[in-house]
Structure 1
Amino acid sequence: MGEALVFQQVSFAYDSNVHQAVLQDVSFSVKKGEFVSVVGPSGAGKSTLFRLVSGLEKQNSGRILVNGKELADRQGHVGYMSQKDGLLPWLSVVDNAALPLILKGFSKKEVWPEVIKKLEAFGLKDVEHRYPDELSGGMRQRVSFLRALLGGSDLLLLDEPFSALDAVTKTVMHEWLLDQWAESGRTILFITHDVEEALFLSDRVLLFSEKPVSHLEEILVPLDRPRMVEDLKDPAFTELKEKLLLDLRKLVTL
């Protein structure tokens, strides 16, 4: 199967201040096709991890490999979406979704028909010419996810993409995301502070358990796939959720 992402003894400190390191000799890997979530309290370093994987920051030491390659510039090799959908308000839905292809030099005439088909498959039929402020939160996130897919990367980094949604919409989006992940075969690294969300979506959960982070505790999720909302009532799921919440509470300092 191979590995989509590998951290080998990665260290990072802002302003190269080794005495205030965020990550210290961190090693972990994500296999191709896996769905892995990263969970930790606020300020634990989740956003730093996002910036390192996406190439927005460069590690002070260690190696980061994407699909087996150590790249001088990871931007463009990792698809990502964040809590803010990042849609450009002056572009229509189809133009926002097609943006990665347009930036690669394709013309609108070339890509619009295929992008419109994909919008329909994402439950966005007949909204291709609307603008972001005319869409619901869930619809905006679907456009953002499609744009990440069209970027062409096999590795997708999602940074709390559903945290701004209401509980009902978030639940619907979880099931929708799992369907899209299963169909696309992509690898997803999902960053969240929501334990239930992480467990429901993931094959494995990586827990930030200290600062500076030198080790990520690994939790295997004991649920078969495909998953439905009803699985949240599974006793094994409930027990694991309570344990994780307790572990996280011990890490929070007021």
Structure 2
Amino acid sequence: MGASVTITANERRVAPAWAEQQRDLIDRMDRAAMRFVDHATRPDGSLVQRTVWTSMDGTDNGYEAFLSFPLFYLVGGGKHIHGLARKEFDAITRQYSAYGTVDREFVTGFDWFHHSESYTYVYYLAMCNPRQQVDRARALQYAAMYIGEDPLAPNWDAEHRIIRSPLNGSHGPRFVTTTTDWDYHRPILANYLAPFEDIAGTDSSDPMFKVDWTDDAMFASVLEMINTRMTRGDVPLNLSATSLVTNAFLLTGEEKYR
């Protein structure tokens, strides 16, 4: 880390009206945050919600509930907001680890649209205190999963310079998805357009055609096609993983993360 920069104010001025209004808003948000936490969490910080979660999707929603807390602290929120931000990150990580969707403090295997939603939280926490050792340790641990240093998460193919699957995480590339991974979403996905145009027993002449994901036989066909066609190889969305490695570079300055 470089030397700190000190900014000194040596004149008194009357604050403009917009600044006073902004400060009033921040003070109100400081209080509102406490009400939200009291309403939505238990004393240990875990979310008041279901006790079982098996879908590969949804973990990001837990983190998203509080990822704005460290950002709010950075723009002037109270010190208690910073404390709550850290408490909630740890609590949600423990909660979803118990569900089985997080391992070693990182989602086991999903896409980078959702990873990005979860781990923006980590970048904000690091900005709150760049010398916090827990943030540095997390940054190195997470980056290792995407530069070939973590044998438990072999996401990076160094030979071809690609991430090996659109679904990836602390368990490495997720080449096979299961019925359990999709169960919560099958009724929802039945309302979307069909994922393929050549699903047996369907008429794709209508560009708006759908398939019934809630039908077990149809779902089995769709799942087989997903695992055969969509879970191997790199995709543009995986470029978001570069932010994870960049975070490690910003905290360490080590060239291997550049």
> Is TM-score (shorter-chain normalized) higher than 0.5?
no
Relative to the length of structure 1, the TM-score reads 0.25
Whichever of the two has the greater Rg, that structure is: 2
Relative to its length, the structure with more strand (as a share) is 1
Relative to the length of structure 2, the TM-score reads 0.25
Which structure is richer in relative contact order (CA contacts within 8 A, separation 6 or more)? Answer: 1
